[in-house]
Structure 1
Amino acid sequence: MGTGKRGLLATAVTVVCAVTVLAAPGTAFASPGPTPAPTTAPTLTPPPSHSKDLEEVREKLDALYHDAAVATDAYNAAEEAAKKQSAELVTLAKKIADGREKLAGLKDRAGRAASSQYRTGGLPDEAHLLLSDDPGDFLDGAGRVLQGQRATKGLLGEMTRTQQDLEQYAEDASAQWQKLEANRKAKAAAQKKIEKQIAAAEKIESQLEKEEKERLALLQQQAAQRAQTAWLGTGILEEIQGEGTVQGQKAVRYATAQIGKPYVWGAEGPDSFDCSGLTSQAWANAGVTVPRTSQEQWRQLRHVALKDMRPGDLIIYFDDASHVGLYVGDGTMVHAPRPGRTVTVAGAGSMPILGVVRPDA
């Protein structure tokens, strides 16, 4: 092992600290603001006729925030992988340190054995036996020779295995380091994209007059309402009759207790959340570990039919699984929508539903 390997433990610990510090504000989104209760759909006053331009603005903003949401999932995934790799590096570094200490001890034993042979004149035990005139001494010595040979063979074998282990640990550590560096780069690229998309959206919004912002908010509410009304119009609530488990209800209570807290990309609470940060922490509070990102929640958790949905289940939105909310019942869900918004209750059908997953058994 070179001097680089000797410093691996310290380096790995430093990596863990660095990864922990690298948490930054974030993004992952959905439809804006709370929607009306599912069983009532008051008619919103249509905006003025020249709202076509604002409708295009709304669609542009939705696209920008959606792209930022996708990048947030990539950021969160890279963050989780980096944490895991940092922990593995620390473990490997400790194994290397322990292995080096063990190898040093074995070499010391081998050195003492060599010194003992030197003190006996450099002759092997077999030669001493041949020179012995006492048959009893010869037989006793023969036994000691066999034991010594076995001990020497065992010592050499253990030294070889320890050396091989050290080499393997070093290779594994190098591989983990490369993965860690790759995920650092992935995080940086995702962060850059997130910030770019959010900055573009904020620039568009900053150019609107107060009255235009109000009309834009109305358009956003109308879009969410139309989607929710269409979803309810399928009669889905007549089919969704499931009751939440004890754990599911606990997750619901946690998530709804966060209402009003700001959306921040990459955040997992307690003061702010992104969409999957909210759902993962809600279920962690219920004693169930779920994947950190909405895409991994969709990929890893058990899928259930929409009609079988019950409080506590996670609703995954958009074809790319870039957003998630937690179903609370009566056709509503709680979620962290996007930058500039807070955790809120919204219609479960106010965005395109990809499917439903269940964290608990």
Structure 2
Amino acid sequence: MGPDKYRVRAGGRRWTLAAAVTVVCAVTVLAAPGTAFAAPSPTPSPSGSPSASVTLPPDKDLEAVREKLDDLYHDAAVATDAYNAAEEAAEKQSAEIVDLARKIVKGQRKLDGLKARAGRAAAAQYRTGGLPDSAKLLLSDNPSQFLDGAGRVLEGERATKGLITELTQTQQDLKQYAADAAGQWNRLEAGRKAKAAAKKKITQRITAAEKLQSTLEKKQKTRLAELEREAAYKAQTAWLDTGILDEIHSKASAAGRKAVAFATAQIGKPYVWGAEGPDSYDCSGLTSQAWASAGQPIPRTSQEQWKQLKHVDVKDMRPGDLIIYFDDASHVAMYVGDGAIIQAPRPGRTVSVGGAGTMPILGVVRPDA
């Protein structure tokens, strides 16, 4: 196969050989099976004959297997996003509960102090006999001294009213803190259940995918990998043939270059769902950590990255921007230029370079807009 085969026409102009090779290499890496997990041993044929003698099923059957695997891993990715969201929410709720507990302790101490002051004020009033001011004036031997004292009493009454107001407000605050803490506990418990359900779904889908793959003979697995590469190449070529790269000319920002450098340094590390590094990543774990390393914290999940970050047109994207894939925003990768991405693809694969157009693009977001 000569190099001219990889020259892709896009928007009426021919790509240079270097650019074409970059794209083809990217697609090849994307589609190649990962090395993070050992492949299951081939299932022996009933006759005990070696796998070399196995007749491959028609490509349409293996294509159906490929599509089924894609569906299973997509479901696992959706569940992974739900798991990560529940975990992130749990961390925030736990921090809120700790903060509320501190406020409750501080408020209770304040309330105890206010009650002590109120008790002393009540005792002082009791010692005066509780007579009305008019009676005290008539009984006083020194009316002038009494009036001076009455002024101080008036100030004391105002202070007492302020004390009562503060005490009442503190009691209300404590009541609200307790209600907020109870609400956070309820949300934490609901999140725990959601997290457990997501984990169960992830495990089920990955187990089903691995079981399906384990039924294939060695030659079938090899052909399946070829079909994956062909599908990726076809999708990438169709994307490039729109002439999209003729329109993309933006350069990376300083922060974007740092994020790309971080992502590049992770190439070869295994995909593990729910992982945020440093030894393994899932798709949004990689992108969130890459941008955190560039001094720009972003949401943890691909769906929240899509919701919260600034959207930009595909033609305006620049290296470091994040491409969100599928209608449910269940996958994310980092654009690195020349039509390529770095991503943590799925279980059984490693962080790798791929073609930006190999999956359905929902849109592009910019962390440092």
Q: TM-score, normalised by structure 1?
A: 0.85
Q: Distance in 2 between matches of 1:261 and 1:267?
A: 11
Query: Paired residue for 1:37?
Result: 22
Match of 2:88 among 80, 83, 86: 80
Q: Does 1:346 align with 2:354?
A: yes
Aligned partner of 1:183 among 191, 202, 224: 191
Q: CA deviation at 1:262?
A: 0.7
User: Equivalences for 1:1-361 in 2 at 5 Å?
Assistant: 37-38=22-23, 50-121=58-129, 123=131, 127-361=135-369
Structure with higher Rg: it is 2
What is the root-mean-square deviation in Å for CA atoms of aligned residues?
Answer: 2.1
**Aligned length, in residue pairs:** 324
SS in structure 2 at match of 1:149 = helix
> Matched residue of 2:267: which SS?
coil
Q: Following TM superposition, by how much is the alpha carbon of 1:49 offset from its aligned partner in structure 2, in angstroms?
A: 6.6
The aligned residue for residue 15 of structure 1 is none
CA contact (8 A) 1:125 1:145 kept: no
Change (3 A) 1:297 1:344: same
Whole-angstrom CA distance in 2 between matches of 1:213 and 1:66: 20
The CA deviation at 1:277 is: 0.6
Shift of 1:37: 2.9
CA distance in 1 between counterparts of 2:56 and 2:159 reads 94
User: Which residue of 1 is the match for residue 44 of structure 2?
Assistant: none
| Counterpart residue type for residue 70 of structure 1 | V
Structure 1 residues 36 and 93 mapped into 2: Cα distance closer, same or farther (>3 Å)?
Answer: farther
Greater mean deviation of Cα atoms: 171-180 or 101-110 = 171-180
Distance in 1 separating the partners of 2:83 and 2:137: 72
Report if the CA contact (8 A) 1:117-1:124 is conserved.
Answer: no
Q: Unaligned 5+ residue runs, structure 1?
A: 1-34
Partner of 2:9: none
Percent identity over the alignment is 71
Tell me how far 1:220 sits from its aligned partner.
1.1
Per-residue deviation, 1:117: 3.3
- Structure 1 residue 129, shift from structure 2 partner: 4.1
> For the Cα contact (< 8 Å) 1:306–1:355, is it kept in 2?
yes
Mark the CA change 1:88 to 1:352 in structure 2 (over 3 Å): closer, same or farther: same
| CA–CA distance in structure 1, aligned partners of residues 129 and 214 of structure 2 | 92
How many angstroms does 1:245 deviate by?
0.8
Structure 2 residue runs without a partner (length 5+): 1-19, 32-54
Q: 2:137 touches 2:143 (CA, 8 Å); kept in 1?
A: no
Distance 1:350 1:87, change over 3 A: same
Q: 1:158 to 1:126 in 2, by over 3 A?
A: farther
1:126–1:145 CA contact under 8 A, matched in 2: no
Residues in 1 aligned to 2:354 and 2:363: alpha-carbon distance in whole angstroms: 17
SS at match of 1:53: helix
Cα distance in 1 for partners of 2:330, 2:194 equals 17
Q: Secondary structure at the match of 1:326?
A: strand
Q: 1:167 to 1:78 in 2, by over 3 A?
A: same
Cα distance, 1:125 vs. partner? 6.5
